[in-house]
Amino acid sequence: MKGDEAAVTEVTRQESARDGEGVDFDRDDEAVSQFVERFAADMTEAGMQRMGARVFAALLASDSGKLTAAEIAELLQISPAAVSGAVRYLAQLNLITREREPGTRRDQYRLYNEVWYEAVSNRDQILTRWQHTMRDGAKVLGPHTLAGARAIRTAEFYEFMQKELVEMLARWRAHVEGAHLEVPHVGEQKTG
């Protein structure tokens, strides 16, 4: 664990120097590492790919919300191939984006500013597609058969869920704006 702690500290320092940010070095590096692994385990248990979950949790725990592949590999003590597969997976889920600082050749992987909002918003398209698939399936299965009725009920559930998601996201936006909650952008530290 001591090697992991040193890696966390070094990556945090490199990231801080790169971004010109002040970072709280009083953090307990072992506790941060345990948090990353615990959250990754929770996401894995919920169905996320293990390495993707670890990389996502590491990005979430970094002050800047962005890391290079080398920093991720060092921080999590994983191979470059594991990093490559994990970031590809997370990008496909629209949880992270890849970008390159002007004048450099190294990619950085960054969380979206409001990653959970973005992730849930993207589900709207998926729910619409599933709705259509279930309604088409009900026609094929026969709307008056038990299987067809299940397909119709499933489509209705997706439609209900989609409507609720849209309303929930609107309530979240109102909550953020009403409470004057600031979501720090990459490279910014939230103050006060």
Report pLDDT for 185. 47
CA distance 24 to 35: 16
Report pLDDT for 19. 47
Side by side, which strands form the sheet with 66-68? 66-68, 107-111, 96-100
CATH class of 2-111: mainly alpha
pLDDT in tens, 76-92: 999 999 999 999 999 99
Residue 123 CA neighbour count, 13 Å, CB half: 16
111: helix, coil or strand?
Answer: strand
Report pLDDT for 191. 44
Handedness of CA 7, 75, 31, 13 (dihedral sign): positive
- Mean pLDDT rounded to a whole number for the chain: 82
Considering the entire predicted model, what is its pTM? 0.67
Exposure string of 127-165, with b = 16+ CB inside 10 Å and e = fewer, is: beebbeebbebbeebeeeeeebeebbebbeebbebbeee
Report pLDDT for 182. 58
| Residues 152, 135 contacting (CB under 8 angstroms) | yes
CA distance 40 to 50: 7
Report pLDDT for 39. 95
| Residues 96, 87 contacting (CB under 8 angstroms) | yes
Calculate helix-pair angle for 69-76, 80-92, nearest 10 degrees.
110
Query: Between these two residues, 181 and 36, which has the higher pLDDT value?
Result: 36
Please give the average per-residue pLDDT across 82-107, as a whole number.
91
Helix H or strand E encompassing 188: none
Report pLDDT for 37. 96
Please report, for the chain, the start and end positions of each structural domain, with discontinuous segments joined by +: 2-111, 115-178
pLDDT in tens, 116-161: 777 777 777 888 999 999 999 999 999 899 999 999 999 999 999 9
